[in-house]
Amino acid sequence: MTPEQLLRYSDQGQLWSSEDRATSPADLAAAYQQALAVRQLRLQRGEVPRGYKIGFTNRTIWPLYNVFAPIWGTVWDGGLRFCEGDGAIDLQATCQPRLEPEIVFGFRATPAPDATPDQLFDAIEWLAPGYEVVQTHCVDWKFQASETVADSALHARLLVGRRVPVRELADSADALHRLLANAHIGLSRNGQAMAQGQGSNVLDSPLMALHHFVRELRQCPGATDLQPGDVVTTGTWTDAFAIAPGECWTAQFSAPLPGLTATLR
């Protein structure tokens, strides 16, 4: 598939045809270059990148999707929203959307080269609860890892809840890692409990997932490094759930992390 075809499917919210899918990249390195070519097309038409998403960081769900390592892709301004506890997510033009509760980081600086966890911590300004809407243009959520990368790392939308200065929660990378690893979440839809999860599901903690991602990003030819003001969402604490307009979802993280409620439309 050409970058232009990939972008067209994304814009229209349509499943890939079997003919076009047969020409999608077969290996991860080629898929990342394809995704970067789509990113360039989006830049050329005036879209603004706002950071990155990390996917498949939750090891407990790898067998469900036949994907056994994290991936990453771009978060765009058009699909990014902020709120203070209650928000809304527009599902228009998404394809087989699912919802994931996550922790999102905001950066005040570009991390140091070969950043240690403590140097990474120094570059972070805030963290927040978030909902990522993920999607796939492959039928029934059946895909190969390389297809997920070419498919914008399955990213569609990102709602970011109340942002908390990271130094109000921890004074070091180790302290933040332990806080997040030991935190729990309860996820509900329309008041009905749907799932529980914990931060250690996410590559041992969202901070460790972030550390892994920074190394991977910098090893990808042509990728743009993290910039001040960027956001990075670090992967779901539970399985991803199919969603539809009209639903109300609530993620209750254990204290001191704030929760997040979203109405889908």
88-144 pLDDT tens trace = 999 999 999 999 999 999 999 999 999 999 999 999 999 999 999 999 999 999 999
pTM value is: 0.97
CA dihedral 63, 232, 175, 172 (to 10 degrees): 150
On average, the pLDDT of the chain sits at: 97
Residue 54 — pLDDT band, cuts 50, 70, 90? very high
Residue 20 — pLDDT band, cuts 50, 70, 90? very high
Cβ partners under 8 Å of residue 158, min gap 6: 53, 75, 79, 80, 81, 104, 130, 131, 132, 133, 231, 233
CATH number for the domain running over 3-264:
3.90.850.10
Query: What pLDDT is recorded for position 238?
Result: 97
**pLDDT tens digits along 152-199:** 999 999 999 999 999 999 999 999 999 999 999 999 999 999 999 999
Nearest CA-CA partner of 188 in 234, 251, 126: 251
Query: What pLDDT is recorded for position 25?
Result: 87
Say yes or no to pLDDT of 26 above 90. Answer: no
Structure tokens belonging to residue 199: 């931060």
